[in-house]
Amino acid sequence: MDTSRLTTGDIVAGVGGVVLLVSLFLPWYGVSVSASGFSASATGTGWEALGFIDILLFLVSLAAMAIVAAKASGNLSPDVPAPVVLLGLGALAVLLVIYRIIDIPAGDVPDGVDLSRKLGVFIALIGAAAVAYGGWRTNEESPGRVAPTTPPAA
């Protein structure tokens, strides 16, 4: 592996993929129950609380890490639009995590039960945003990209 082949955007996207993967093992949601002097609480990781979204986020994180590793090892075909793929996957992950921040996965919640968001869901948002930003930044850093020209001074 030759890390000199990586741009800053590639590194950001790769680290974002790792952060997104790790976040799935952290608590995303918490539930507290209080009734008749009895109280209990529990948390659920991304793997436990999410239905199909956890698999999509897992695949996004793996794809981001794989693209960066392939580029560092020189095994990534120049025909693969890696920055666009990273940006698209990161944007999808951001939308999925925001959806799960807004809509906590729960059915009918009886009185005395409190649902909360935990740190893992916000770390997932940071990781997903890093993948998207890394893809955008890599696209901006691409050597084939033409820099905008300024009009000549009059």
Q: Where are the domains of the chain?
A: 3-136
For the record, the structure tokens of 79 come out as: 């025909």
Q: Identify the residue whose tokens are 């950001």.
A: 12
Q: What is the pLDDT along the chain (154 residues), one digit of tens a residue?
A: 667 778 888 899 999 999 999 999 999 888 888 777 788 888 888 888 888 888 999 999 999 999 989 888 888 777 778 888 899 999 999 999 999 888 877 766 666 677 888 899 999 999 999 999 999 998 887 765 545 566 666 6
Q: Which fold has domain 3-136?
A: de novo design (two linked rop proteins) (1.20.1440)
Residues 98 and 32: beta-carbon distance below 8 Å: no
For the record, the structure tokens of 37 come out as: 């002097």
Global pTM reads 0.81
